[in-house]
Chain A
Amino acid sequence: MNDTIHQPVIYLDHAATSFPKPESVLQAMQHSMREEAANPGRGGHKMAIAAGRVLMRTRLELSSLFGVSNPSDIAFMPNTTAALNQGIQGCLQPGDHVVTTMMEHNSVRRPLEYMRKKYQVDVDYVTVDEAGQIDLSELRKLCSRKTRLIVCNHSSNLLGSILPIQEIAEIAQSVGAWLLVDAAQSAGSIPVDVKALGIDMLAFPGHKGLLGPQGTGGLYISPSLDLEPLIYGGTGSQSEEVDQPSVRPDRYEAGTPNTVGIAGLGAGVRYIKDIGVSVIGHHEWLLTQYAIEQLSAVRGLRLLGPQLGEPRTGIVSFILESIDPSALAFRLDREYGIAVRAGYHCTPLAHQSANTTLSGAVRSSFGYDTTKKDVEALVDAVRHIASSV
């Protein structure tokens, strides 16, 4: 069977992973694979050192992107989920209390619920309104002296809403809790400065807004936070010691890293820095505004998330009352060549907040490569399908 896609695809699934990647990302990966993909940190030969430099250069790019002063405080992870697990499981002790929100991805909810069952960690969920915002006073009320961690997304992967991280960080600080931010939907689309925002841990993907390949991501860990590693093993350092090294980033990077992917990630970060994160975010926002204006005129269509004119990332989710979201997404793909995502988007609680628990929703999500013409094609197709059922 030939799996090659011949039909041109209008790719509107950037919230899942960005596509296509910049040419420079492909070139960096090919260069790494062909010329210098030895095992970094293992052995002192020239190619191993060259591979190590690839990691360090990408770490430096990420540091300047996120306002991190010491690149060793960023650990590479295979994805945001791994980074969130490291952050959550690494900082909690039995009996600790955590506050999170009702619109977190399963990559936050599931590790928290695991910690609740296994270690009697107490977890509270702040309610979320239909626009994807939380009441900060409710968050404050839920916090106590036992609260060790507040964990929340920067932007919802269903609604595109943006949380006030700085205000949440102030609450965390006032109760002596750490703040872990899931930047899966914001990294590369909203400027993130960990110091200015007061973020203690930042989990980010490499393959979404940073335009790197899948299998890349990372976790920023504040130097004042000594996380217990999640993965133990070889680091190429302090090999004579039984215990995991205390030195960063080795402490959190056991096992051979994804050198080729990280080479691509470095090129992706350079690409978005050349354009400017704010410029990318504004482009995506303009597309969402156009989509909302046009889609809101479609009869029987309900839009989720922030109102027109409000800040949001490049995500527009909706339901058509006359057709099941998965059937709508299927028709958009097969009949119109438009790639969107239907279902729960790994965030059942957010669907509860948006009153879409029974149906799920269709999510369209835009990237820097998305054009107004692409969004027009989506709107035309949705309008056409709506009038035909």
Chain B
Amino acid sequence: MNTFVMAFDSSQQALRAEMLLEQKAIVFEMIPTPSEITAGCALSLSFSAQEVDRIIEIVKAEHIEIRGVFRSNPSSASGDSSFEQWV
């Protein structure tokens, strides 16, 4: 289950990350950034907990700027998933 979201301020940087992760055969999904993180029109990558460290490492090594990494919490009171900042 994809419980982590990496949000970008620049869609170009998100697409750069996408290419690098694809090259390394990492499983992820590109999604519009949940409005709870930012209401802008940026893109995010969602992925499972086991990929978090590897993805952060790749993004740092390539100087890709991120808004942050967020963990979804499906058991919030409202019933919708909410996000807490992870990085």
Enumerate chain A interface residues (CB-CB to B < 8 A).
40-44, 49, 52-53, 55-56, 59-60, 69-72, 223, 235-240, 245, 247-250
Contacts and interface: CB of A to CB of B under 8 A. Distances in A.
Interface of B: 9-13, 15-16, 18-19, 30-33, 38-43, 62-65
B58 to A, nearest CB: 14
24 contacts: A41-B11, A41-B12, A41-B41, A44-B33, A44-B41, A44-B43, A52-B12, A52-B43, A55-B12, A56-B16, A69-B63, A71-B12, A72-B12, A72-B13, A72-B63, A72-B64, A236-B40, A237-B11, A237-B40, A239-B39, A240-B39, A247-B10, A247-B65, A249-B10
A40 B10 contact: no
Q: Which of B32, B43, B64 has the most CB of A within 10 A?
A: B43
Contact of B30 (A49, A236, A249): A49
A40 B42 CA distance: 11
Contacts of A248: 10, 65
A52 B11 contact: yes
Given A56-B16, A56-B19, A70-B62, A237 B39 contact: no
Given A41-B41, A236-B42, A250 B19 contact: no
Nearest to A71: B16
A235 B40 CA distance: 10
Contacts of B33: 44
A236 B63 CA distance: 21
Contacts of B9: 237-238, 245, 247, 250
Nearest to A44: B32
